[in-house]
């Protein structure tokens, strides 16, 4: 349980823990082959310089400051510096286009902005005329030869802070004491699966309540380690590796990149680890691939272990429960092979593993459970600080997203929509009265837009999303989410978008997993580009068998009658996925409208 009094701000907690843990490591980043350590003392000093510099420049309490950067040490410095100065942090996804960046900065009225490098700076300078409120930009990696009065770096803030703190030595204490629970802390813009992103206003009280809610289920402390690799612009990652680390007094390690996560996990060995389903899928594929390349004696033992583990976890179709003899065999193999797998994944020290931000197939979680890696689904929205339900570590129920955390109420509306209420819920959308009225009702219930059901013990199961419901030509309501999740569980399929609103039957746009496709080509003696292999008759036959397997598990009206394999995967850079790898359904439907029409025209 967290030991700070209700309503205490993340700013108070930061300064308290910085004083408490002083020389202990707080942040680690990769420099060359080594991990450079920033202590809590150094962390506090750097945050003090950011906050003091912003105050010297005239930042008033409640004014907005943007952060446009990938995950890195300076992101945390900027965030805590802005909050310590009484400002409001506005995260901006680094994958956003120039126009998207300008929209968020302009709509929120940011006065100052932190950017990662010259590439991110260029996005802003292209739209400078659209941002009349923006007065100064600070670049983390400024580089050489940039001389612009509008642009500075963290060194400039250091100098300004020295003057400010010399003249007003208690200014940061004064600002911290002046922050109240109802004061705005951050505006987090949704990643926009449909339409313009909305800016969810989260107060200091919202953040404090969310911290209390989470840590009543999973306590944290100074021995906890977190690996930061999902976008800090998303409230879930920020809650875990930014605010969570501040509360714990532990360590956050910054992954070099998404591609380096596996290597960085082995170095960090996090105690709490949060990932989206696609990452868990990649981990499973990596384990299977490694086993396939072992020498024959080792491979036989490893395959036997994976078979027993799948049955122990209850994976669909894996076989009956283990007999006493098989259970003993499993324990022996787990002590040897399972232990090695967990260590090679870098998850052998983890005490709480989380999958969130998108639907995950239950069999994927069962597979990990069998390996001694119980992964818990967690559920929430940006609008309630990212967490409304959690599966408790000792009572995970696969197929559900857990129970409401203490401090949160859940209710299922007459139409099946999940409603949430609690001190963690946003006060509304910034400069959007219509959106706020649609989100929050008169009784304070937040309308999530998700559909679900509660069981007798209060565990929540998500059944779909209201806006994604397909109503076919016969008037049948079909939720595509579960079908898509099941399709993505097939080995070769990476993404699936089910279509059928107002149509006589369902169709699907599919993409292939590049790594699985390369492995398939190697096993079948094929060569060629991903685009060429996507139209290979044997590949398409395997996809057809996958679709048929999925169809057999669903009612006839929910079956995929026709489908098309796109020649490339959906990507964040292409604007088809959000930064947390959720499909932007509307974008995909518009971009491939001709392909969809052809599926119905045959």
- At 398-453, the pLDDT tens digits run 999 999 999 999 999 999 999 999 999 999 999 999 999 999 999 999 999 999 99
Token pair 């699985």 is at which residue? 516
Whether 579 contacts 93, CB under 8 Å:
yes
Domain ranges of the chain: 10-179+220-271, 277-348+351-422+447-466, 469-601
Residues in the chain: 602
Average pLDDT over residues 217-246: 96
Token pair 């596996």 is at which residue? 262
Is the predicted pLDDT of residue 7 greater than 50, yes or no? no
Average pLDDT over residues 49-59: 98
- At 471-529, the pLDDT tens digits run 887 777 888 988 999 999 998 999 999 999 888 999 999 999 988 898 888 888 888 88
Token pair 């967690």 is at which residue? 378
DSSP-assigned states of every residue in 23-83? TSEEEEEEETTEEEEEEHHHHHHHHHHHHHHHHHTTPPTT-EEEEE--SSHHHHHHHHHHH
C-alpha closest to that of 541 among 559, 524, 558, 522? 524
- At 90-148, the pLDDT tens digits run 999 999 999 999 999 999 999 999 999 999 999 999 999 999 999 999 999 987 656 67
Is the predicted pLDDT of residue 154 greater than 90, yes or no? yes
C-alpha closest to that of 595 among 573, 577, 568? 568
CA–CA gap between residue 12 and residue 540 (Å, rounded):
58
Q: 10-179+220-271 falls under which CATH superfamily? A: ANL, N-terminal domain (3.40.50.12780)
Is the predicted pLDDT of residue 192 greater than 70, yes or no? no
- Around Cβ 57, how many Cβ atoms within 10 Å? 18
| CA distance readout (Å), 494 to 279, 282, 324, 487, 513 | 12, 10, 38, 8, 4
CATH entry 3.30.300.30 includes domain 469-601: yes
CA–CA gap between residue 241 and residue 261 (Å, rounded):
15
The confidence score (pLDDT) of residue 194 equals 53
Q: How far is CA 277 from the centre of its chain?
A: 9
The confidence score (pLDDT) of residue 145 equals 58
Token pair 């300008």 is at which residue? 102
Pairing status of strand 272-275 against strand 352-355: parallel
CB contact set of 294 (below 8 Å; sequence gap of 6+): 302
Instruction: Calculate ∠ Cα 232-110-184, nearest 5°.
Output: 70
Does residue 554 sit in helix, strand or coil? coil
């Amino acid at each position: 349980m967290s030991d700070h009094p209700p309503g205490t701000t993340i700013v108070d907690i930061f300064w308290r823990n910085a004083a408490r843990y002083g020389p202990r490591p707080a942040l680690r980043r990769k420099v060359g082959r080594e991990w450079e350590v920033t202590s809590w003392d150094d962390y506090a000093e750097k945050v003090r310089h950011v906050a003091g510099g912003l105050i010297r420049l005239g930042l008033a309490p409640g004014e907005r400051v943007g952060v446009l950067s990938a995950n890195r040490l300076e992101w945390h410095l900027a965030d805590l510096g802005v909050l310590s100065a009484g400002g409001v942090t506005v995260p901006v996804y680094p994958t956003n286009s120039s126009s998207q960046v300008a929209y968020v900065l302009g709509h929120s009225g940011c006065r100052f902005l932190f950017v990662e490098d010259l590439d991110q700076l260029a996005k802003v300078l292209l739209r400078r005329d659209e941002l009349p409120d923006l007065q100064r930009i600070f670049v983390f990696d400024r580089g050489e030869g940039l001389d612009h009065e509008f642009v500075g770096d963290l060194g400039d803030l250091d100098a300004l802070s020295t003057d400010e703190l010399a003249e007003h030595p208690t200014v940061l204490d004064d600002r911290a004491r002046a922050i109240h629970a109802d004061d705005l802390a951050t505006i987090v813009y949704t990643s926009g699966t449909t339409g313009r992103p909305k800016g969810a206003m989260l107060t200091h009280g919202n953040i404090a309540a969310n911290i209390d809610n989470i840590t009543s289920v999973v306590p944290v402390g100074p021995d906890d380690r977190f690996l930061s690799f999902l976008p800090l612009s998303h409230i879930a990652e920020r809650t875990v590796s930014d605010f969570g680390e501040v509360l714990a007094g532990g360590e956050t390690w910054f992954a070099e990149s998404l591609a380096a996560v596996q290597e960085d996990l082995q170095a960090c060995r996090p105690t709490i680890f949060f990932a989206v389903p696609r990452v868990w899928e990649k981990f499973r594929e990596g384990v299977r691939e490694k086993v396939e390349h072992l020498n024959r004696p080792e491979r036989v033992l490893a395959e036997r272990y994976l078979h027993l583990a799948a049955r122990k976890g209850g994976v669909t179709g894996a076989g009956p429960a283990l007999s006493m003899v098989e259970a003993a065999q499993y324990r022996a193999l787990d002590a040897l092979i399972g232990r090695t797998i967990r260590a090679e994944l870098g998850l052998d020290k983890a005490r709480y593993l989380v999958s969130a931000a998108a639907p995950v197939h239950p069999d994927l979680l069962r597979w990990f459970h069998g390996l001694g890696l119980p992964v818990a689904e967690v559920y929430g929205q940006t609008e309630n600080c990212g967490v409304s339900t959690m599966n408790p570590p000792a009572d995970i129920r696969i197929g559900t997203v857990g129970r409401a955390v203490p401090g949160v109420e859940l209710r299922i509306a007459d139409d099946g929509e999940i409603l949430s209420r609690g001190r963690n819920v946003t006060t509304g959308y910034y400069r959007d009265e219509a959106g706020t009225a649609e989100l929050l009702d008169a009784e304070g219930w937040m309308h999530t837009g998700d559909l679900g059901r509660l069981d007798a013990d209060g565990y929540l199961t998500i059944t779909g999303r209201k806006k994604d419901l397909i109503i076919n030509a016969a008037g049948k309501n079909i939720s595509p989410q579960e079908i898509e999740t099941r399709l993505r569980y097939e080995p070769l399929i990476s993404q699936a978008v089910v279509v059928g609103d107002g149509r006589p039957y369902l169709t699907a746009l599919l993409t292939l997993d590049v790594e699985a496709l390369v492995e398939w080509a190697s096993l079948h003696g094929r060569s060629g580009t991903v685009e060429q292999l996507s139209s290979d008759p044997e590949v398409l036959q395997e996809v057809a068998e996958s679709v048929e397997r999925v169809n057999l598990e669903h009612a006839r009206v929910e079956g995929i009658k026709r489908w098309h394999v796109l020649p490339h995967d959906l990507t964040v850079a292409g604007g088809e996925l959000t930064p947390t790898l959720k499909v932007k359904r509307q974008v995909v439907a518009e971009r491939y409208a001709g392909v969809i029409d052809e599926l119905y025209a045959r």
